[in-house]
Structures are given as C-alpha cells and as structure tokens.
Structure 1
Amino acid sequence: MLGGGGYRQKLIQVWNDWQVSVLVLLSLTLQLLFLSTAGARRRAQPSWGKKTYFWALYIGSRFITTYSLGILSRASTGDANADIQAFWASLLLFHLGGPDDFTALSLEDNKLWDRRCLELFIQVSTTLYVFSRYVLDPGFRRFIVPFALIFSAGVVKYVEQVVALHHATMEALIKSVLGKPDAGPDYADTINRLDGIMRSGALPSLDIKNERVDRPNSDPEANVQVKDYSEDEQQVAIKTIRSAHSLFSRFSVLFADGIFSFEDRQESQAMFLRKDARWAFKIVEIELGFAYDRLYTKASVSRGARLAVRVCSLSLTLAAGLWAALAILRASQYRQRHRCVTYALLAGAALNDAAILAAHAFSVWSLVHGDWLSWCSVMLVKRRRWSASMAQSNLVTFCLRKLPSNNDSDPAPLSSSFLLRRLLLGGGRGGVQQQDASPAPALSTTLASMDEFQKLFERRSLLDQVRSGSFWSKYKHTKYVPVSEKLKDFIYAQLEEKVRRLSEYDKRMERERERERKRVRAPSPSPSPSPSASATTPTQTGTSTTTTTSSMYSILTDCRGDQVMKDEEISNLSWSLEKKEFDESLLIWHIATDLRFREEAQAAGAAASAASAATVDQRETRKHMEIARELSNYLYYIMVVVHPLMLSSSTTMAIKRCRDTCAEARRLFLKDHVMAAAGKGKGDRRRAVGEDNAHRVLLDVDTPLHAAVVKGDKCKSVLWDGCFLARELRQSMADPGRRWRVVCKVWVEMLGYAAVHCGGYQHAERLKDGGELITFVCLLMTHLGMGKHYRTEVGDAYAHLSPYSAAA
C-alpha cells in the first residue's frame, strides 16, 4: 500500500502530466464564455455577481494564458508529444487577443494601453522563444506553417486590442473631435484697417456680421420634419440608426466634457422637437450603444480595419486548422488526449473568429453606411442596449434595518438594543424583573440623561461599521424597478415644455428686435456728425446681437426645482431649494417625499378598499406619486451608493450629511422601538416602529423651528428639515393632485440639474453597469439645447469697413 507520501507523489505526477492540457482547455473555456456573455454586460443590472463574474473572466483568462505560456517555455523537448504542445503556444497567443465585445473592465483600463503594449511584446517574445526551441525538431516541422498562421492571427488581434484601448481613452476622444486649432478672424488686421481709414480723415462705417443666422431662419421648430407615413418600417429603422450615429459623432465629446456650438443645438433640436418620448429614448439608447462600443469594445478601430482583421484572422485560422488537422492525422506518435485537445483548440479558434465576424456584420455599425442589412434593421432597433431599470434606495428603509422584531423572545440577539431596553426599564443585571411595576419613573429618569443613551447608540453604530466593513455596504440590497413608459413620457414632456416656452419667448423677443430695427432705420431730423467727431469715432452700422435664448437656456439648466415653485407661485417652500447645496436640497426633498408618500399611500389604500373603483383624478395622482417616489429613491441611490461626486461638488460633505441624517433617524427609531417594546399590553407592542408606521414616528415630532436653530451646525443632519417640508407640502397644497404634480416636476428638474452638471467621465463609467437614467436625461437635455456644454453662440464675426467722406 502507498503511504501519504506515495499518494502525494502520484498526484504530483498526474498533475505534471495533465497540467498543460487542463490549462489550455481552461483558457479556451474562458474565451468561449467571454464570447457568449460579453455582450450582456451592457444590459445587465449592476450586481456583485455580475462584477465578480466579468472580473474573474477578464483577469483569469489573461493569467491562465500567460501561466500556460510560461510552462510551455520550460517544457522538456524530449517528450514525443512536446512538439504538438509547442504548437499550442500560438493558440494561447491567439486567446490573448480577446473578444471584440470586451476590451476593458472600466475606463481606467483604457489608460493602460501602453502597459498592454509592453505585455504584447513580452507575450510575442515568449511565443517566439517556444517556437525557437522546437523549430529544429523533425516532428515539429509539420506544425511550422500552421504555427506561423495562428501566430500571425494572434498578433493582429492583440495589436487591434491595444489600438482599441488607446482610441478609447478620453484624450483620444477629445482629439478626434477637436480638429485643427482655430485662430478665428484676424483681429489685428481689422483694427489696422480701421486705423488707416481714420488717419485718412474719413469716418469709417463698421458693419459686423455674425456667422450665426438668427431667427426666423434658425427656428428649430421650422426645420422639424414631420414623419412620412409612406415610409415602411425598415426605412424608419435605418433612419433611426443613422440619426443616432450622427448624434454620437457630434456629441460623443460630451463624455470628455467637450463644448458644442449653436449649430449643434439647432440641428439636434430640429431632430427631437415634436417627437414622442418613445422615439427620443430609443434614439438616445442607440446613441449610448455606440458610445459603449467606442469605450469598451474594439469598435473604436475603424470599420474598414476591423473588417479586414476579421476576414484575415478567420482565413488564417481556417487554413491553419486544416493544415494542422491533416498533419495530426498522418502522425501516429501523439496521444489521443493531445489530439483531442488540439482539435478542440482549433475548433474553438475558428468558432471564435466566425462568431465575431458574424456579430460585426450583423450589427448597427453595418447599417451606418450601407443598406444591405436593411431586412433586419427593425430587429436591430428593437434590441435592448441597457438595463432599462433604475436602482432604488430609501433612507427610512435603511434606518429601519436590523431593528429587533416584535416577536423577539430571546433578548440575547438584540445586542445593544436589549441593553437599551434594560437601561430604559432600570432592570440592572437581572434584566426585567418587576413586571407589575410601572416603567414610567425609570423611563423619565433615563430619558433625562440622554448622554448614556447616546454613547450606547454610538457604540452600536461603530460595531455595525466594523462588522460590515463600510457604512454604505448595507446598500448591497438595493432593489431595481423598470423605467416605465409613463416615467419616460413625463420626463420628456417636462423637458420639451421648457424648450417650447423658450421658443415662444424667443419669437416675442425677435419681433421686438425687428420693430426696434425698423425704428432705427426710420429717417430722423438729427444733425450730421461734425468733422472733428468723424476723425475720431467710427460709426457702427451693424452689431452682433445674440438672442436672449442662450442666457435663458443657461438659467433653465441651473434650475433644480426653484423654477417650478416660481411657475406654480409657491413661495413658502423656496427655502428648501434656494441658497442650499444641491445634495442638501435633494436629501430634504427625499425625506419629505417619502413621508408624504407613506402617509398618503396608506390613506389611499384604505379609501380604495372602501370604494369600488378609482376615478381618473385618483389614478393620475397615483401615477404622480409613484413617479415622484421612484425619482426620489433613484437620486438618493446615485448620491450615496454610486458616486456622491455625480450630484455634489463636495463628496465628503454629501456623505457626512447622509450619515448624520441616518444616525439621527436611527436613534429616534431605536428609542421609539425600545419604548414600545417596554409596554405591557399587546396594543402597545403593535406600536413598534416599522415600515408601516415609520412616517408617523417622524411626523409626530413637532418641528416649529428649523433644526439648525436648535442644534447648531456641527451636525449636518437634515432629518427635521425634511419632516418640516413634508408638513409644508400638505399645508401649502391641499389638493393631492396638484401637490404630487408639483412634487413630480421638482424631481424632474432635480434630475435634469444632476444630469447636466455631472461629469462626462461619470456618465461614461456607468455605461458598463447597464447604464443610468441620469445619462439618458443628460443627452436628452443636450439634444434639446440645454446644458452647460454650449459655449459657442454666435460663431465667427466678420467686420466690413466702408469709408466715406466726413463732408458727406
């Protein structure tokens, strides 16, 4: 019998014999998994499992392939199967080229293109070293040609990956759209000519014409093309794809915080005005699909080069596979295992290239410049390119987590909550012993000294942080809701309404300017200018007057709910929006919206159970309630889970404000829960705080003054400001329909403000996690002419000088 050492030696021997075969098959398996699932990354909701899966594939495939090449470089040349194993080195290099649909885990990986270039040199050198060791082996000569073919295909794919990473960097993105430097019209030359005319004794006439053509010729609504219903569905689908690509080509620099001109605004407005929300969201979805391809796949390489690489790689792989298969069939010295592994690797390489070529041919990129794929254009448009969902996080729900339940009979699991109960009841070490005594004296004594209570709560909070590792890690239970059509319709209707109002305002201003120009052109009895004045002062007969629309767009872009209050003539709620940081206003409105929703949803549920059917107004109010709640929870999720910098200029302050608010709310809930659990009757026990009555606990606290007046400004909690606003909403607007319509509009404005003020890098980074609604809103606002990126409003100005005599 073999001892422990014998089994160990046997196991080592088996592993040494099988390790190369296992590793290359594992590398092939990872490549096939990449090939079949990489495209789903853009459509999947962000989760721990998804992140781990793609991280393991991305890191594991490169590690295993590199490790296998290292083993082959040290393998013995005396084995009869050594030459066929050396042929595997070219196939491993082919694997390192990676799939077309996955080049980077994040945008940070694109910056490492130079490091990947160094890796290319090392891996190619290692493969050539393996080749040099076996090239003189007579048994390896049959594999020289297929080795060279697969090696060439692998190098081409690897180079393509490096180029794609380089083109996907923000620097390359900016460079691709900036073009050549523009010095503009020659200012010095114009001034010199002006001085020359004035020195000659003539009065110069300076007529300045802007590049921009003002209304009515630049009216975006005048250029809106009404849909031609004679077109079939395929033609409409092709136009949609090409329109999305045109927008992507023009506005892709948004992800690098680029700038746009009035021409971009006019053309995009002409495309989007008078269109429905379904069309607008779909064209932005396709546009973001192009952006994802540019940043996270090999699509950044030119289409012609990609097609050439695909055809060349597939041809080389098929030729090498056929040559190697015939060579193996003629040789008899190879083990059956090595034959099967080689066949699997060759078949996997051919399948990989064929699938990539088919995916490239049947993609929206093929419809950008050609019509041969028109028969499946409708299917390509309908294909989903993002998760179509938005995350939901709620402050009250988070603060209620891990509170002891009403059915807890064992006090031990309550940890510090059980200690609080003992503290409030004065039970001492023996716990609660005097069941027949009234707890009121003990309660009043304990509540009079809140220092000990606060210390115990802080101790519990610190313990939770140590257990979880991070205060915000508990948000891993974030739930997701679909982005409904009613939400899209409401958001787009509000954005389009802003543009329509601006258009009407601009038309009125244009009519006033036209009347002013006519008044100026009318003859007047004013005397001619004196010769002395003519020699020193030029007459400006034309000026570059920009419309006030530009400033109005900027004003509406900076609105975050305060414009809704002005439109609705509600002044007593402006304190929650004006002169406050955005994350502070968002948190206050999140609390108020949640409390109002909880209270009114309970009342509406009780009324619905008594009534037979809801009226139209009630259904509309319910729709607005759901929209407001979803947007409130979504923006709260963005602020505390995804990236506080997306919504706040100060990440530290935003996080501190959320933490302090959560700490104050949880302290209140713990205190109320313990006091309810201390009651003797069952009726008192049902008062324990939970999801169904948390709003009552908060709203029962009277808030006659703002919290900062009472507590100072060290604690940044806005809990009581949110409760105060919840009461003000009910008192200011007694009609629930109007109240929730206003709240919805406020949240849409906040969403728009957050979308256009969020950095383009953050928008691009979220594409890999299924996309975000806030990115859709950012692009919609940009295409409708709003946003902070429009910096060119009049274009170049051209000065025309015409001298004339002073005597004239």
Structure 2
Amino acid sequence: MQILAEVKNLWMKLNLRGAILMSLSLQVFLIFFAPIRKRCSNWWIVTLTWSAYLVADLVADYALGLIAKAQFTGGTSESKVDAYGDLLAFWAPFLLLHLGGPDTITAFALEDNELWLRHLLNLLFQLGAAGYVFYESLPSNKLIVATILMFIGGITKYIERTRALYLASFSKFRDSLFTSLDTGPNYAKLMEEYYSMKTNNIPVSIETKRQTVLESVLESPDAGAEDKTNSDDKEAKETSLFLDNREVIKKAFGYFTTFKGLLVGLIFSFRERNESVRFFRSITPNDAFRVVEAELNFFYDVLYTKAAVVHRPVGYLFRAISIGSIITAFVLFYVLNKQGFHEYDIQITYTLLLGAVGLEFVALSMLICSDWTIALSDRFEKHGRRSSIGSSSIKSLLKFRSKDSSFALHILHGRWSKSIFQYNLIDSRLKWWPKWIQSLRELFDDLKSGQVEQYKEKLGELIFDELKRKSSNTNKLESMKERCDSRGEWASNTSKWESIKERCDSRGEWALERRPNCKELLSFVRDVDYGESILMWHIATELCYNTGTDDKTNKYRKVSKVLSDYMLYLMIKRPIMMSAEVGIWKIRFQHTCAEIDRFIGDTFFNESKMDITKERVCNSLLSIPTVVKPADVKGNKVKSVLFDACILAKELGELEETKWKILSEVWVELLTYAAIHCRPYVHAQQLSKGGELITLVWLLMVHLGLSELFQPIEDPRAKLIIHK
C-alpha cells in the first residue's frame, strides 16, 4: 500500500508539472499560429488552431484543479520540508495568465463572443481556486510578494480577454455604435416661446426647413455622369492615385471607423457614400483591393482578438501593469534564496517566468508593428504630437512589410489568404472510384476545400472596372433632389430607387443588355433562378474553355474559368454565403450530375476510364444536336441543366471574339449578386478562415455606393420668425 501511495504521489507531481508546461506550450503556439489563420486557408492550420484554442482552457483549468487538490491533500505539510506549497501558490496565477490567452486570439468563431458571461464566471471561479491555494500557503510563504504580482498580471490578462469578448458580442457591438442620440430641436421650449409671443399679440410664425444631405449630393462624383467608355477608363487609370502602405492603412482605418456598422445593418447617409465613392473611383484597382483588405483586417481584429481592448488608453495602462508585474516577479524570484526547493521545480518555475516574459514582449512587438499602431500614430501626428523617431520607425516597418511577395512574408504580414477555391463539375464526374473510396475522398475534399487558384491583380482589375462602371450614373441629380425634398412619398414610390437596386440585383442582365448582339442570352439569366443560372453558366464556360482552339490567349478566358469554378465552389461547399434565391440547387445539381454520368457512360462505354479526358467529354457534348429544348423532351420533373448549358455554349460560340469578355462580365455580376445579398454576419465569419474573395467584393461594392444601406437623412431645423 505504501508503494502504491508513493506511485500515486509521484504521478500527481508529474501530472501537475506536465499540465503546467503543456499549458505554457499551448500559449506559445497560439500567439504565433493564431494570426496565420486569417492569412492562410489551409485546413490543417485552422484545425490545429481550433484544437489548441479548445485544449488551452481545458489544460489550464485542469492544472489549476491539480494545484488546489495538491495543496488541500498535503501541500502544506510538504512545504515544511521543501517549500513545495510556496511554489504551488506561485504557479497558480500563471494559469490565470494562460487563461487570459494571447492577444492574437480571443474567439475562434463569432459564436464564442456570445459566451463572454461564461468567461466572466470562470474568471471568478478560477480566481477563487487560485486564491485558496495562495491562502493555504500563508503565513510562511517566501514568495508572497512575487505571487501577488503574478496575480495582478494574471487577473489583468483575464479581464482583457473577457472584456474583448464582451465588446465583440453582437448586441454590445451594435449598442456601441449608438454613442449619442440627436433628439432634434427642443420642441417644448420652442412651443412655449411661440405660445408666449402669440398671447402677447406678437406676429410670429414657425419656419421649418428640412435640411438634408443635398449639399453633398451636389458634390456627388456620379451626379450627371454617364457610363464610361473604354478610352475613358484607360485615361482614368492613368490619372489614378497611387497609395503607399501608410496611406492604405490610414484610409482603411478611417473607413473602418465609419462603416463598422455594416455588420449590424446600420443605415448610412449619402454624404458618407459620396465621400467613399469619390475616393475609390480615384484610385487604381490594386489600391482599392489593398484598402479593402486592410479594412477587413481591422474587422477581424475587433471580432477575434484583443485589439479593441488593447489599443485604448486604459488598454495601454493595463499592458504596462501586466508587463511590469511579471518582470518584477521574475526579478524577485531570481534574487530569492531558493534553499528548500527541488532543482526541477526551480527549472519549471524559471520556464514559466521566462515564458511569461517572452509572451509579453512578443505581444508588445506585435502591438507596435500592428496596423492599429500605424493608424493611430497618424492621428497623433495630426494633433501635433509627432515624433521623428516614431515616424521613421513606422516608415521602416512599412518598407519591410511592402516586400511581402514571398510566401513566408505573406504568412507573417498578409491580410487574407488570396486563395480562390475551385470546384469543377465535369472534373468531379471523371474521378472514377469505388463508392466507399469516393465517400472518403469527398470528406477529405471538404476538409482541404479542393483545388485552389491564387488571386491575381488581373482578376481584381476586372472586378473593380465592372463595379466602377456599374456604380456610375446610379444617382442622377434630379432623382437625388427629389429624394432629398421628399417627406415620405419615396417610401411608397420605389421606382426612384430602381437604379441602385436593379444593378445590385442584376445576375447578368445588365452586362448582356448593354450589348446588342447578346439579347438571345438574356433568357439564360432572366428566366431561371439564381442557382440554376450558376450551374448552367458554369457548364457552358467549361464547354467553351475546353473546346476553343483560337482564343487561348484571350485575357478574359482564364479569369472567366476561375470565377466560374469559384462560384460553383461557393454554391456546393459554402451555400450559406449564397443568396437565399438559389432555389432547389441541390436537387438540380444531383440531377445534372446523374445526367453527366449517364452521358459519359453511354458515350465512352467501350473505352478505358483512364482514357476519358475532359476535352473529349466537352467536344462530345457540343456535338449533340439541340434543336429541341430539353424541357420539351424531359418535362419539368427532371431538373438537369446539362443540355440547356450546351445550347448556351453554342450561342456563346457564335459571338467569337467577344465571347470571353461577355462571360467574364456575367460571372462578375453573378459574384456581385451573391456578395451583396449575403448577410454581413456570414462575411464576418469567413475572416477567421483565410477570408473569401466574395467578402472583399461585398465591401468594395459598399464603398462604390452599390448598396441599399445609403439613404438621405433629414436634419430638421425650426426657428421662430417675428414679422414686423
């Protein structure tokens, strides 16, 4: 029995020390790897981060429970021999420090922010457990001062995390945007003065003038503007502004401050819209995407990290207290007479102290090098608090971060993954595997998200140019004046809003109607639901891509292919990001897959499956006569769009040189339709998974005025007029 007791005691010591060191290791992992998830969409990075995020709290809670148990069952008696109880009391606040977590991650998903109250209760319970351990070590604790200092540091970090979760919770984030309420003119005082003058027979009247944002409308960059021609666009590009990295961050932070209410559906004035449109129409496509990337990075920091807490005066004070208390505790332990401590316990304590100090300085360096510091330093300079040393340091930092072409530097400083996931329907039907293997492959594909194309500037230029063209002439001066002069009529007269709404709701019609030779293609977007349109145009794009021999150098060919596969990927793998109007896409997709499988089986029944190529399948599909509509043959029960897509591909083939230009414009419209109709909350969810191109397009559309979130805001002003 005595042997079993000794073994149990040894296991308790090893278990406790192992749990503490593992807790420290998880903190080190999270502080370095957590930021990577917004820059890299690899599934294994997301999985590792998720696992470490969940396990870190469990291990810290478990280790703190072991310390409390050890103190309760014999730590005090053992401390008379080797001061073990003093070390237990000293180790406890380190676990509070670990529970506070690194600055780089407070929430793995948006739903974690709603659990801020649970973290607050956990703080109270864990503080009580650590306080009990400390109380049991009194009054002979040789580390009493150092332990108190570590308690200060641990509590500070835990409060920071709980506060960050609280501020990022949906309800609090929304409430924080309503900082002040303007109740307008003082009605009671005005009416008292009016009544007093009337009773004294003073000729007086009330003049009410409803001032709106008309003055900003008159300065609208779109007022009276017509659609730009290609030559005008080229000239605009040559005169566009070019932004350095500091200007990008400054502009992004300004727009983040103005438009962060997007996440909760706030309405913005036309003054804010016009300022944004004017700026984005004056810069290059590359700079526009850089500003949007940086702005989304601020959204990520507010929702998933401690940035909203740390980058405040109180946050700087808390950080100074935390660092100061930890360093002081380290010094006190270093100069302490350690007689009575076991050597391995001393080494573990030094490991904890060095780890705590190291994590604090890593967090401090990240804080100094963050976009927040650069943006806030610019504000300080505007108020005359410019520091030449700080300014030169920031310039050096930005110069280094601008050289992020390599993968390693992108992982360190990139703002999103720049990964455009792909899903190709015909490719997926040519993978011949047994059913059980196919099921495993589909599961693995869901984890790793399939094939990936890297974002290219040419793709950004195409999207930006199309959005810029679409945003022009959306608000003519006459209609704007009518809206500003309206006192409620516009609410029942929706035709005055159609110029913006129709272009936001366009799923390809706007691109096709502008071309006289594309009228026959309108039925393929106008007479079908959104999900059917995506599937049909995807197959048609694939047929054109794999059968054309004279247009492989066309600059729009590859872009159309990438957008086509990306939109199908979103519909299949990320349906939550697509519009609710995708309809019965799942049934339609399954029927189409079944018809492709049957066509391949019937056409190539006597050939080896390895010899069947995508090019041969596409050529065979286009060789089928399609003089009769598939619906007239199959009826409405079958939802496949395979041969409707063949008809569309043949129509596109007759357009020859303009085919890929038209396809690229249609795909941009299908993308923008999904982007603007996806809930902002869903866009925010993707920021922690490497980001999505559709999210960048959504925010870019808002900045170019292509959103119904902008309305004229009346500012009524009333005054008493005394008539002579």
In the TM superposition, what whole-angstrom CA distance separates every residue of 1:34-88 from its partner, at most 9, and x where no partner exists? Answer: 12222212111241x1222011210111111111111111112233334313321
* CA distance in structure 1 between the aligned counterparts of 2:223 and 2:318, rounded to whole angstroms: 45
Tell me which residue corresponds to 1:73: 68
For structure 2, the residue ranges without an aligned partner over 5 or more in a row are 199-203, 226-235, 379-389, 404-412
3-state SS of 1:275 partner: coil
Displacement of 1:219 in angstroms is 3.6
The answer to whether the 8 A contact 1:149-1:317 is kept is: yes
* CA distance in structure 2 between the aligned counterparts of 1:15 and 1:284, rounded to whole angstroms: 54
Q: Which amino acid is the alignment partner of residue 142 of structure 1?
A: K
Tell me which residue corresponds to 2:283: 275
Tell me which residue corresponds to 1:626: 558
Displacement of 1:557 in angstroms is 1.1
Tell me which residue corresponds to 1:122: 125
Tell me which residue corresponds to 2:688: 768
Matches within 5 A, 1:279-298: 279-298=287-306
Displacement of 1:658 in angstroms is 2.2
1:389 aligned to 2:396? no
| Percent of aligned positions that are identical | 30
- 323, 329, 342: which one aligns with 2:332: 323
* CA distance in structure 2 between the aligned counterparts of 1:498 and 1:300, rounded to whole angstroms: 35
Tell me which residue corresponds to 1:217: 219
- 658, 665, 678: which one aligns with 1:758: 678
Tell me which residue corresponds to 1:573: 521
Tell me which residue corresponds to 2:377: 370
* CA distance in structure 1 between the aligned counterparts of 2:63 and 2:673, rounded to whole angstroms: 52
1:743/1:8 Cα in 2 relative to 1: closer, same or farther (>3 Å)?
farther
Displacement of 1:378 in angstroms is 3.9
Tell me which residue corresponds to 2:598: 667
Displacement of 1:688 in angstroms is 4.8
Matches within 5 A, 1:122-161: 122-136=125-139, 138=140, 141-161=141-161
* CA distance in structure 2 between the aligned counterparts of 1:186 and 1:548, rounded to whole angstroms: 36
The answer to whether the 8 A contact 2:88-2:133 is kept is: no
* CA distance in structure 1 between the aligned counterparts of 2:508 and 2:57, rounded to whole angstroms: 49
The answer to whether the 8 A contact 1:93-1:154 is kept is: yes
Displacement of 1:757 in angstroms is 0.9
Q: Which amino acid is the alignment partner of residue 297 of structure 1?
A: T
3-state SS of 1:19 partner: helix
* CA distance in structure 2 between the aligned counterparts of 1:63 and 1:203, rounded to whole angstroms: 71
3-state SS of 2:371 partner: coil
* CA distance in structure 2 between the aligned counterparts of 1:103 and 1:206, rounded to whole angstroms: 51
* CA distance in structure 2 between the aligned counterparts of 1:475 and 1:755, rounded to whole angstroms: 23
3-state SS of 2:134 partner: helix
The answer to whether the 8 A contact 2:538-2:565 is kept is: yes
* CA distance in structure 1 between the aligned counterparts of 2:31 and 2:542, rounded to whole angstroms: 44
* CA distance in structure 1 between the aligned counterparts of 2:461 and 2:143, rounded to whole angstroms: 62
Q: Which amino acid is the alignment partner of residue 372 of structure 2?
A: W
In the TM superposition, what whole-angstrom CA distance separates every residue of 1:775-800 from its partner, at most 9, and x where no partner exists? Answer: 1111111111111322x225335689
3-state SS of 2:177 partner: helix
Q: Give the TM-score, by structure 2 length.
A: 0.83
Q: Give the TM-score, by structure 1 length.
A: 0.75
Point out the more displaced range, 77-86 or 152-161.
77-86
1:84/1:474 Cα in 2 relative to 1: closer, same or farther (>3 Å)?
closer
Q: Which amino acid is the alignment partner of residue 697 of structure 2?
A: V
Displacement of 1:184 in angstroms is 5.9
1:648/1:669 Cα in 2 relative to 1: closer, same or farther (>3 Å)?
farther
Tell me which residue corresponds to 1:481: 453
For structure 1, the residue ranges without an aligned partner over 5 or more in a row are 404-414, 416-459, 515-539, 605-616, 678-684
- 312, 316, 321: which one aligns with 2:321: 312
The answer to whether the 8 A contact 2:23-2:59 is kept is: yes
In the TM superposition, what whole-angstrom CA distance separates every residue of 1:530-557 from its partner, at most 9, and x where no partner exists? Answer: xxxxxxxxxx999999999854122211
Displacement of 1:217 in angstroms is 3.3
The answer to whether the 8 A contact 1:286-1:381 is kept is: no
Displacement of 1:596 in angstroms is 1.0
* CA distance in structure 1 between the aligned counterparts of 2:238 and 2:224, rounded to whole angstroms: 16
3-state SS of 1:702 partner: coil
1:66/1:210 Cα in 2 relative to 1: closer, same or farther (>3 Å)?
closer
3-state SS of 2:420 partner: strand
The answer to whether the 8 A contact 2:86-2:142 is kept is: no
Displacement of 1:367 in angstroms is 2.1
Displacement of 1:749 in angstroms is 1.1
1:64 aligned to 2:59? yes
* Bigger radius of gyration among the two: 1
Q: CA RMSD in A?
A: 4.0
The answer to whether the 8 A contact 2:217-2:223 is kept is: no
3-state SS of 2:142 partner: helix
The answer to whether the 8 A contact 2:19-2:59 is kept is: yes
- 242, 256, 261: which one aligns with 1:253: 261
In the TM superposition, what whole-angstrom CA distance separates every residue of 1:743-797 from its partner, at most 9, and x where no partner exists? Answer: 101111111111111110111000001111111111111111111322x225335
1:70/1:84 Cα in 2 relative to 1: closer, same or farther (>3 Å)?
same
3-state SS of 2:519 partner: coil
3-state SS of 2:119 partner: helix
* CA distance in structure 2 between the aligned counterparts of 1:715 and 1:11, rounded to whole angstroms: 70
* CA distance in structure 2 between the aligned counterparts of 1:363 and 1:474, rounded to whole angstroms: 33
The answer to whether the 8 A contact 2:529-2:583 is kept is: no
* CA distance in structure 1 between the aligned counterparts of 2:617 and 2:4, rounded to whole angstroms: 62
In the TM superposition, what whole-angstrom CA distance separates every residue of 1:648-707 from its partner, at most 9, and x where no partner exists? Answer: 31677233332332233223334444x123xxxxxxx58953333221343344333333
Tell me which residue corresponds to 1:655: 586
Q: Which amino acid is the alignment partner of residue 650 of structure 2?
A: R
